[in-house]
Structure 1
Amino acid sequence: MTDPFGTEALRASVRRAWGDSPTRLIEDTNAERDLRVGAYRDRLFVELAQNAADAAKIAGEPGTVRVSVVDGELRVANTGAPLDARGVASLSSLRASAKEGMVGEFGVGFAAVLAVSSEPRVISRGGGVAFSEARTRELVAQDEVPVLRLPWAVDEDVPEGFDTEVRLPLRDGVDPAELLARVSAEAEDLLLSLPWLARIEIDGAGWERSTVDSVVEIAAPDGTVRRWLTEEAEAGLWAVPVDDGPVPLANEVLHAPTPTDERLSLPARLIASIPMEPSRRRVLPGTDLTGLARAYPALVRKLAPEHRPRMVPEPAFPLSEVDGQLREAVQRQLAVQPWLPGGEELPASGARVLTVESPELVELVGGIVPRLVSLSGPELARVLATVDADPLEVAELVELLTGLERPPAWWRSLYDTLLPLLEAHSVSADELGALPVPLADGRVLPGPRGTFLFGASADVLELIDDADVVGLRLVHPDAAHPLLERLGAKHADSADLLESPALRDAVERSVEDARSGLDVRPLADAVLRLISDSPVAGLGALALPSVDGWRRADELVLPGSPLLGIFDQEAVGEDGALSVLDNDFAEDWPVEELTTLGVLDGFVVTEDGIRDLDLVADDAWPEALRLLAGERETWHALSGSTGEWIARNALLAGRAPEEWRLPEADGLAGLYDPVPDVGVKPEVLALAGVRAELAVTDLDDAADVLHRLGDPARTIGPGLVSRVYTALVAADLDWSQLDAPERVRAVDGSVVDAEQAAVLDRPWLAAVWPVGQLIAVPSGAEQLAELLDLPLLSELISARLPEGEYLEWSELTAIRLAAELLDIPFPEGGVIVHEELTVEFDGVKRATPWWVKSAEFHGEHHAEDSPAGLARAFAWASGHWADRHLITSLLDDPDPLTLLA
């Protein structure tokens, strides 16, 4: 067999090196293992395709690669320059390459074949070479050996039509179908990255590359064609997939020219001839990549203007140091080179981008805003901001339009473009708030708010002219547009004019103007005429003539108003709060229009209640109440805060209404005196605050009832006393703000000094305390004691009891019968029964029907042997205190009819 590549000499040289340095074999073995499992572990087809591209470039003819599996071998055939002796020497070295100027000159990528084969062969025109792990192991008598250090010559034929074929007997466990699938997945990327490859065939299916202008088309076996727009760069190429527009890439890697491990976050693929580490996975540290970015804007300019912004890198953290360097360089070039569409192509730096999407608006203002990009939208503005473009907010655009002179029809065209944006919520009314508006008088004002769209009748406009209302703004009819109404402009009818700030201002200063000598009568006539069309409130400041001179309308009373008969004389007049409307002026206008303006004919209800009640004369309150009750609006107002004010401040027979009770309110007898007959109906008196029932709503009420309880001149029944105390406890007020009374009312209705009284908190204690010093309430004794600043009776009494007989409750026959009739379970324990029960307190013995030595239900219960004593003890012990009188009756007569009769 011939040996055209001198493989025997190569083997001898390697074996001498191994012999001269015993560690060299181990180093070569380890180095090859590192390449197989590390740098080149998944680059099989990449490296073989790269070698094929190098061969095609040397031959000067685009090449073809064919991949197939034959007899358990992966075979990769290619056209182009055949294998030569230098190539074989390179294949046999882990540290060198024979491909000067080729894409693989920086690596030893053939080691990638070891991932699938330990017996690779390279067959070419002019000879072939084989490597064998088994033959090397046998030759050097070692188990661990490198595969690609010892070549052997082989004599095999190259497939017809090809110049070289790599043949790789597959290792056990390598799935040929899966291997071919992986190779197929890489075909398109490799044809793009390796321009000297024109076709890749894999198991009978072919991918083909063609170029039209700057577009590389790669046709797949299924007939689909993928197109890549490309731009030559300094020592590289930029490419992006295109269909109708660009398809920006994501999760991309740098290609040099085949894929590396340098992750990129750029929208386009970069294929560059740059220095790489021997593994061809990483760029050599210190490599300057910025020059590659200079061609990026040229790639972008090849796209249609509307697609170009998609090529701006999305804001993100760099995925690698290389990515960071490239992103920064690309962004800088996009900032300084022209590529954005506008009046002319613009660099991004300093370009203005409208933040709402509206081609019509951009076209309309393109000649007004310098450096305006012809594309628009919020997402566009966000993206272009990363390359130093300046967003143009609508509010800023509006500001730029301020002072612009354009015909009213141009402004209407502008409004046409803005209204859809407002309706779509792309802009807010606030952003358009200062939008210029041309007025009928030729001025252009910033902002539609406060302007009026034409719609008022001619006579109304004539009145407005006569009144000379400063600041009343009417929109030019050629510019009238629904947008202006959305932004605060109003159609001018009478109500709108009356609500306008300009007219309101004129009304507010009308009295001052009149007193300074200005003629305000035209304004008064205009406002009253407008009110006749549309009654509008809030114009009470309008100056009207009175018998004392010009006054506010809401400070005037109609000449025939009943109020003049009930107001204090000092309240109506030149120095008073009110005056009387000039009679001649009053006759010129209907009462309804004058009262709408605020002139008084009767009491007026405001948000705060009924006004001018403080002007009522002290002796006129009965008539005032009758007048209030005669109108539905004022009648309803009496039920709120107005009624409370009247209750405290009005006078009926010399007292405030709340100090009286209704004659039929017998439940309050003694506590309050009945109101004298003042000629007012009871229902009106009740709304005015005359009391119909007991109520403690605030501290003033509480202080008042406590004062009345402590008044010895009043005779108050015990039941009402109890109800008053109950109401006080239920009021739940802040009693710290209330002074404790000096005198209190006892349970028998008598008045006692507070320092002699105590509050009953345990019912059995009442038997040993003077009733005239005892304060009681059905519940809430602790709260009442705090309110009155009195001690609880249990805090004062500690009594001694005599001996008695202890009996379980179930041993008492009468108790047992009563409990059964009332379905009351027996409480725990029993009772100590006494023939007569006396307790000793302060050295004095006092008789009592029952006693408990503990305040709890299960304390020590004592009772005299009587229905009254036993019933109370049992009711308390069982928790049925409210049934004590019924239990007493059943103990007297344990017949079921007692419950029914």
Structure 2
Amino acid sequence: MSAADPFGTAALRAAVLSAWTTSPTRFREDANAEEDLYLGGYRDRLLVELAQNAADAADGTGTLRLSLVDGELRAANTGRPLDADGVAALASLRASAKSSVQGVGQFGVGFAAVLAVTDSPSVLSLNGGVTFSAEQTRAAIADHPDLAARAADRGGRVPVLRMVWPADAVVPDGFATEVRLPLRGDVNGRKLLANFAAQAADLLLALPRLDRIEIGDDAWWRVDNDSRVEIHGPDGVVSWLVHRVSGTLADDLVEHLGVEARERRQWSVCWAAKVDQDGAPLPLGDDVLHAPTPTDERLSLPARLVATLPIEPTRRRLHAGAAAAAVLAEAAGAYPGLVELTPAEHRTALVPLVGFPLSEVDERLRELLVTALRQSPWLPAAEGDDLAPARAQVLDAEADGLAELLAEIVPNLAAGWLSAQRHAAALAALDVPRLGLADVVDTITGRARPPEWWHRLYTALAPVVETDGTARLELGALPVPLADGRTLPGPAGVVLVEDAELLELLAHAEVGVLHVVHAEAAHPVLERLGAHRGGPVDLLDAGGLQDAVERSLDDVESGVDITGLVSVVLRLVRDAGVRTGELPWLGALALKDSVGDWRRADELALPGSPLLDVLDEDAPVGVLSAEVAAEWPDHVLAAVGVLDAFALVADEAPTGPDHGLADEAEWWDSRQEPPARVLAVRDLDLVTDDAWPRALALLAADPDTWRALLEPDGYTGWWIARHAVIGGAAPSDWRLPEADDLAGLYDVVPDIGVDPRVLAAIGVRTGLRVDNADDAEDLLIRLGDPDRGLHPGAVLRTHAALAEAVADEVFDPTDVRLPETTRTLAGTVAADCVVLDAPWLLTVLPEDQVVAAGPDFALAEPLAELLDLPLATEESAGEIISAADPVPWSDLGAVAAACELLDVDIPLGTLLVHEKLTIRTPTGTHNPTWWVLDDVVHCEDTPEALARALAWTTNRWPDRHTFTALIEEPAHYLT
């Protein structure tokens, strides 16, 4: 029994056969077209076409079931059953029964994809069924020789989908239509189903009218939830974030398309981003344009585009033209909508990154998407609404809270977390400028903000500063609010102070040179940027405070209010424990005096200070205001230079006489070498003459000035020795009581109640010393004073000391002004004298005309040079007039014995022995016991004469008395 023919297939077959017989080329065209379809455009598209047909047939949404039954691939779908128009379209190859309402698919010819697996497809529906068969078609043309010949020429291949026969229709329960495809022997059904399974999830996303696909025992289904789509399957759930828009193309955009395409001007666009459970986009990997099913147009976008785009008949390439361009433009315009649906922290993952495009469509879409994304407000802002990237800027440094804080000042600033590296490539693709830390500093400089705002800023910057050396350089000019209300550009040099009371003082004192951070802005990050923690000592060392102090007097005289500076300096000095003289520049601080005038601190004395009693009434030292003196402790005021005792100057590394000391340059020049340090008492030149005893007592009572007094070769002792007055005379005009060797030359210093060490340090003489020309001159004057009763030993010692100083070149004799007279051996003073340079001359010279330097006759010549007197040997040569016998020294037994006992070599040569030695000089005839003339020794034969001659000849003059005793009686040596 033949099947019913509800779709009029007989007429369709007759029409086809008539067309083939009346136009033999039509047969070849249909055969070629069919082969082109299933071997070309529709290869590997079997599931796509079956799914499209199922979607087209769906009422609302539909289901597609694929299974293998008895060697057949069966594809059942729900929805509208097959009708006559559908059958006609199936047998047409060139027409489609899909209306614009049905939407999906533009070519009914897509059914040709089944020929890749079968030669006899059937479509069974609730309204009836049809079947196609290559075998039946060959049978139908067997009676037509021309067609049979043409088929034979093609190896027996005939068009399969042109001739259609009715078929008995039995469809599975719950389904409207089932396509049955008996598989050819070379087709692996299980492999085919596996390939279908790999495509199922993507098809459910691309075909919204299809919500379930069953393949064998597995199923995939879609769950729509607003903008989120979940594709459930055997391997779990794949989530997609989707954004759909639709519209209608203008007539002029489709006029170049085919008739059916022109009738379907509606378009739809779906952007889909695969996301994880948190909504973060996942990479798509290799992807293609879906129009709406997959094409061969490769894409490298972070989201999938599914759009009703015009495609070429092969269904693999986009049909370029105005319509395609318009839909792509609409798609690009819709893309920011998908981005806005994405959680804010993941939006940049949907920005196409810079790279090589995979196709022309990919390149065009990239350009369109970037343009759309730049203009659309979707980029999270640091505050307020989202920003369009075209007007946004992002911080280059990632720091929590920084962007949100800066948003108050910096316009159009993106959210701070967008500074992270993972967003950098996306923002660069959108040309969003990055705002470096140096740019931030430039922007916020000059902006008024409360101190606590700056503290929050430093907190936000802290992690960056800690880990990034470049960031620290860029933040070098970061503004810092100061305690006095100013804002300083840059942390370098500012001080972090923790003392709350001191900070309060600084906040109300206008001391512009002190760069102290405001208490509410202080933050450890400032230390990393060049600030330093400090207390009073650090503030005193801070740059600028010294300058402010040194110009304070000029400032106050110019009308500047310096009361804040005074309070701050005195407070810092107190808290730092500054000692008197430790910071000399503090002496320039202007303070009020007792009459209300402003003066330097070091020109003021404390009220009631004993120093005021020893200074000259014209001394430029005022009295400190009683109010200031009552407010601050004496030691604080003394530390800034206010005088209570004599002030000290201390310099451990002096470079020159530049300490403001009286006659300092003269002291400096008086030294053989520059001083290694200066420790000196200043203002000594202000002491009145009659107050020196009290002044010295003050100096001795203070440990610091005591050290200065006793400083070896120091300034203080040097100056006082030259200028102080004790008992109406200079200190050097007195001697200490124990200086006995100066008795007669100097009087004992009056008792003024001062330690002898102090007296010695200021020049009171402690013994016979000749240190310079002044000492020599003073001694000679005193020696030549006839009113001084001098012991002969003191005279000899003094002359010897003077001669030794000349011999040692302690001073230049020409620098000494000589008195008119000098002291002789007789204790008298005389103007015309000679200097004794040979002991035998005393026998012929009167003692009141002889000056001697003692028994060391080697000192006679330097003494004569100093006194500008002749030597005695130059004035008293003498002539020997008595007879003598030459005797060798070695023949004199007593002499030889004495030399042996004293371990002295016996002189060589001979001496002339006189019974009585007689000489003639200009003053007359004399009888000395011994004499030396022209290096020849003359002597009488007496122990005393021989002893002196022997002592002189052997250079043992000090032993002359010993020689005498030994010559007289050798036993003296034993006793």
Pick from 330, 335, 347: which aligns with 1:291? 330
Instruction: Evaluate the alpha carbon distance shift between residue 194 and residue 458 of structure 1 in structure 2; reply closer, same or farther with a 3 A threshold.
Output: closer
Corresponding residue of 1:180: 193
- Is 1:125 aligned to residue 152 of structure 2? no
User: SS in structure 1 opposite 2:14?
Assistant: helix
Instruction: Evaluate the alpha carbon distance shift between residue 560 and residue 580 of structure 1 in structure 2; reply closer, same or farther with a 3 A threshold.
Output: farther
Q: 1-side partners of 2:446 and 2:464: how far apart?
A: 23
Q: 2-side partners of 1:40 and 1:428: how far apart?
A: 60
Q: 1-side partners of 2:536 and 2:654: how far apart?
A: 17
Corresponding residue of 2:413: 372
214-223 vs 480-489, which deviates more?
214-223
Corresponding residue of 2:393: 352
- Is 1:43 aligned to residue 25 of structure 2? no
Pick from 277, 284, 288: which aligns with 2:312? 277
Listed one character per residue, the Cα deviations across residues 578-632 of structure 1 (whole Å, up to 9, x for unaligned) are x9969546997999xx9xxxxxxxxxxxxxxxxxxxxxxxxxxxxxxxxxxxxxx
Unpaired runs of at least 5, structure 1: 510-520, 531-536, 566-578, 595-901
Retained in 1: the 8 A contact 2:238–2:274? no
Alignment of 1:793-804 (within 5 A): none
Corresponding residue of 1:400: 443
Q: 2-side partners of 1:382 and 1:541: how far apart?
A: 63
1:70 Cα deviation (Å)? 0.5
1:415 Cα deviation (Å)? 0.9
- Is 1:240 aligned to residue 240 of structure 2? no
Instruction: Evaluate the alpha carbon distance shift between residue 460 and residue 184 of structure 1 in structure 2; reply closer, same or farther with a 3 A threshold.
Output: closer
Instruction: Evaluate the alpha carbon distance shift between residue 134 and residue 504 of structure 1 in structure 2; reply closer, same or farther with a 3 A threshold.
Output: farther
Corresponding residue of 2:370: 331
Instruction: Evaluate the alpha carbon distance shift between residue 83 and residue 505 of structure 1 in structure 2; reply closer, same or farther with a 3 A threshold.
Output: farther
1:46 Cα deviation (Å)? 0.8
Retained in 2: the 8 A contact 1:241–1:247? yes
1:65 Cα deviation (Å)? 0.9
- Is 1:52 aligned to residue 57 of structure 2? no
- Is 1:306 aligned to residue 345 of structure 2? yes
1:484 Cα deviation (Å)? 0.5
Instruction: Evaluate the alpha carbon distance shift between residue 228 and residue 475 of structure 1 in structure 2; reply closer, same or farther with a 3 A threshold.
Output: closer
Instruction: Evaluate the alpha carbon distance shift between residue 541 and residue 346 of structure 1 in structure 2; reply closer, same or farther with a 3 A threshold.
Output: farther
Alignment of 1:134-173 (within 5 A): 134-137=135-138, 139=141, 140=148, 141-142=151-152, 143=155, 144-173=157-186
Q: 1-side partners of 2:497 and 2:329: how far apart?
A: 63
Corresponding residue of 1:776: none
Listed one character per residue, the Cα deviations across residues 398-448 of structure 1 (whole Å, up to 9, x for unaligned) are 222111222222211211111022224397101221111011222101110
Retained in 1: the 8 A contact 2:94–2:107? no
- Is 1:219 aligned to residue 258 of structure 2? no
- Is 1:85 aligned to residue 84 of structure 2? yes
Q: 2-side partners of 1:426 and 1:410: how far apart?
A: 24
Q: 1-side partners of 2:652 and 2:380: how far apart?
A: 56
Retained in 2: the 8 A contact 1:355–1:392? yes
Q: 1-side partners of 2:469 and 2:425: how far apart?
A: 15
- Is 1:256 aligned to residue 291 of structure 2? yes
User: SS in structure 2 opposite 1:189?
Assistant: helix
Pick from 474, 484, 497: which aligns with 2:526? 484
Instruction: Evaluate the alpha carbon distance shift between residue 356 and residue 450 of structure 1 in structure 2; reply closer, same or farther with a 3 A threshold.
Output: same
One-letter amino acid of the structure 2 residue matched with residue 335 of structure 1:
R
User: SS in structure 1 opposite 2:390?
Assistant: coil
Corresponding residue of 2:358: 319
- Is 1:266 aligned to residue 301 of structure 2? yes
Corresponding residue of 2:785: none
Instruction: Evaluate the alpha carbon distance shift between residue 478 and residue 558 of structure 1 in structure 2; reply closer, same or farther with a 3 A threshold.
Output: farther
Retained in 2: the 8 A contact 1:77–1:163? yes
Q: 2-side partners of 1:543 and 1:16: how far apart?
A: 133
TM-score with structure 2 setting the length: 0.51
1:97 Cα deviation (Å)? 1.6
Q: 2-side partners of 1:338 and 1:307: how far apart?
A: 15
One-letter amino acid of the structure 2 residue matched with residue 238 of structure 1:
W
Retained in 2: the 8 A contact 1:69–1:176? yes
Q: 2-side partners of 1:542 and 1:302: how far apart?
A: 80
Listed one character per residue, the Cα deviations across residues 366-415 of structure 1 (whole Å, up to 9, x for unaligned) are 22222222343143354234334332222222222111222222211211
Listed one character per residue, the Cα deviations across residues 321-358 of structure 1 (whole Å, up to 9, x for unaligned) are 22233222222222222223331222222022223333
Listed one character per residue, the Cα deviations across residues 232-286 of structure 1 (whole Å, up to 9, x for unaligned) are 3442222223321132443332222211222223222222122121122222111
Alignment of 1:695-714 (within 5 A): none
One-letter amino acid of the structure 1 residue matched with residue 174 of structure 2:
G
Instruction: Evaluate the alpha carbon distance shift between residue 476 and residue 149 of structure 1 in structure 2; reply closer, same or farther with a 3 A threshold.
Output: same
1:216 Cα deviation (Å)? 2.3
Retained in 2: the 8 A contact 1:77–1:162? yes
1:62 Cα deviation (Å)? 1.8
Q: 2-side partners of 1:5 and 1:353: how far apart?
A: 67
Unpaired runs of at least 5, structure 2: 142-147, 248-267, 552-580, 589-638, 641-650, 684-703, 712-975
Alignment of 1:556-705 (within 5 A): 563-564=673-674, 584=681
One-letter amino acid of the structure 2 residue matched with residue 351 of structure 1:
A
Retained in 1: the 8 A contact 2:96–2:107? yes
Corresponding residue of 2:114: 113
Listed one character per residue, the Cα deviations across residues 194-226 of structure 1 (whole Å, up to 9, x for unaligned) are 111122111132222232222223222455363
Alignment of 1:497-512 (within 5 A): none
Listed one character per residue, the Cα deviations across residues 679-708 of structure 1 (whole Å, up to 9, x for unaligned) are xxxxxxxxxxxxxxxxxxxxxxxxxxxxxx
Q: 1-side partners of 2:706 and 2:462: how far apart?
A: 44
One-letter amino acid of the structure 2 residue matched with residue 244 of structure 1:
D
Q: 2-side partners of 1:275 and 1:557: how far apart?
A: 108
Retained in 1: the 8 A contact 2:230–2:237? no
Q: 1-side partners of 2:534 and 2:205: how far apart?
A: 69
1:312 Cα deviation (Å)? 2.0
Q: 1-side partners of 2:430 and 2:481: how far apart?
A: 38
TM-score with structure 1 setting the length: 0.55
User: SS in structure 2 opposite 1:165?
Assistant: strand
User: SS in structure 1 opposite 2:378?
Assistant: strand
Corresponding residue of 2:902: none
1:98 Cα deviation (Å)? 1.8
Q: 1-side partners of 2:299 and 2:664: how far apart?
A: 83
One-letter amino acid of the structure 2 residue matched with residue 323 of structure 1:
D
Retained in 1: the 8 A contact 2:657–2:668? no
Pick from 29, 32, 53: which aligns with 2:31? 29
1:80 Cα deviation (Å)? 1.5
Structure (1 or 2) with the larger CA radius of gyration: 2
